[in-house]
């Protein structure tokens, strides 16, 4: 009987680009773990904060996809800020105001670059990022006051509220929501749309995911959440919508896109926000990305690219 030759299985060699992307991802994950390391992320000691903030700057420089974009830093009334502008033709009157994350205790223009650049790429809109003051040196409401100051700057530059999309990740998502709550309370017009990546909406940490997904989240711990909220909010009422925007009134809020990873400690913050927004008649879409972690969109991985494509489609819709 004729014998069939054994099947040989060859593993396809990885391309130089694939190897380069893997190395970059490895470096970025190391920086990410340094930011949220068990030994220091929950510490508000000056030397630990300095280390966390430096690690975030490194992560930002590694992750920012700046090809085809212009980075234009400037002084915004004593605050560091920067425009990211696309080199291709675009409508300069439609922009994104981006609020960076970092638990209100870290984050900078450098850390803002990756997501701000990806937002610019995905939407074709000029994107403004800014360095709001950080806790514990500058606790609540310093960051909110700074965000309102940037909003006022845009109004004075001739932009209308409907020309602006507000975006934010993590604590920056918190800040974006609080900014809208404050604008609404002052009777001012709200932006055209809202984009939130893994938003921190509930400083009381009352959602089920804070316990159910604690072992799944590779970046954030409950100890970290407790440390940064104490540094930022002090002894204030954590149910105040200016700290936990989840408990605010979303009547009249603009169409909102929320993206969250399935493995996140903050998963409930996103899910409950969607439910509360829809209950008041606001249009809100929640996207759950399987096996993804906190603000995964920053990383050079396929799902991050797909997620940003969804953002671009949402802003064009």
Q: Are 284 and 269 within 8 A, CB to CB?
A: no
Q: Which of 36, 121, 181, 294 is catalytic?
A: 294
Note if 271 is an active site residue.
no
| Spatial distance between the Cα atoms of 154 and 129, rounded to a whole number of angstroms | 12
Gyration radius (Cα) of the chain, Å: 20
Query: Quick one: residue 53, left, alpha or beta (phi over 0 = left, psi -120 to 50 = alpha)?
Result: alpha
Q: Which of 42, 126, 264, 271 is catalytic?
A: 264
Note if 310 is an active site residue.
no
| Spatial distance between the Cα atoms of 316 and 57, rounded to a whole number of angstroms | 31
Question: End-to-end alpha-carbon separation of the chain, Å?
Answer: 65
| 164-169 vs 193-197, strand pairing mode | parallel
Question: Which pairs with CB-CB distance under 8 Å and at least 24 residues apart come from 239-245?
Answer: 239/204, 241/178, 241/181, 242/140, 242/141, 242/144, 242/178, 242/181, 242/182, 243/140, 243/178, 243/203, 244/201, 244/202, 244/203, 244/204, 245/174, 245/177, 245/178, 245/181, 245/201, 245/273
| Spatial distance between the Cα atoms of 23 and 147, rounded to a whole number of angstroms | 36
Note if 72 is an active site residue.
no
| Spatial distance between the Cα atoms of 101 and 165, rounded to a whole number of angstroms | 17
Q: Which of 108, 123, 170, 209 is catalytic?
A: 170
> Which residues participate in catalysis according to the annotation?
170, 264, 294
């Amino acid at each position: 009987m004729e014998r069939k030759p054994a099947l040989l299985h060859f593993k396809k060699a990885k391309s130089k680009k694939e190897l380069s992307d893997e190395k970059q991802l490895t470096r970025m994950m190391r920086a990410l773990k340094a930011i949220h390391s068990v030994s220091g992320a929950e510490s508000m000691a000056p030397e630990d904060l300095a280390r966390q903030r430096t690690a975030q700057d490194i992560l930002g420089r590694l992750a920012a996809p700046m090809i085809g974009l212009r980075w234009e830093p400037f002084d915004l009334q004593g605050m560091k800020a920067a425009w990211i502008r696309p080199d291709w033709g675009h409508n300069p009157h439609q922009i994104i105001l981006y609020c960076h994350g970092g638990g209100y205790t870290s984050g900078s223009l450098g850390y803002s670059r990756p997501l701000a650049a990806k937002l610019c790429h995905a939407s074709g809109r000029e994107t403004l990022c800014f360095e709001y003051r950080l806790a514990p040196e500058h606790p609540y409401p310093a960051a909110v006051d700074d965000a309102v100051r940037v909003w006022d700057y845009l109004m004075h530059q001739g932009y209308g509220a409907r020309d602006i999309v507000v975006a934010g990740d993590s604590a920056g998502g918190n800040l974006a929501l609080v900014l809208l709550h404050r604008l609404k309370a002052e009777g001012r017009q709200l932006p055209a749309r809202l984009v939130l990546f893994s938003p921190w909406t509930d400083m009381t940490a009352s959602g089920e995911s804070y316990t159910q997904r604690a072992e799944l989240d590779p970046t954030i711990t409950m100890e970290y959440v407790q440390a940064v909220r104490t540094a930022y909010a002090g002894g204030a009422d954590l149910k105040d919508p200016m700290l936990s925007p989840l408990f605010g009134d979303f009547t009249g809020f603009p169409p909102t896109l929320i993206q969250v990873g399935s493995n996140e400690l903050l998963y409930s913050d996103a899910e409950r926000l969607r439910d509360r927004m829809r209950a008041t008649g606001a249009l809100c879409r929640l996207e759950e990305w399987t096996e993804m972690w906190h603000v995964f969109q920053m990383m050079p991985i396929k799902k991050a690219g797909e997620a940003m494509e969804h953002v671009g489609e949402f802003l064009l819709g």
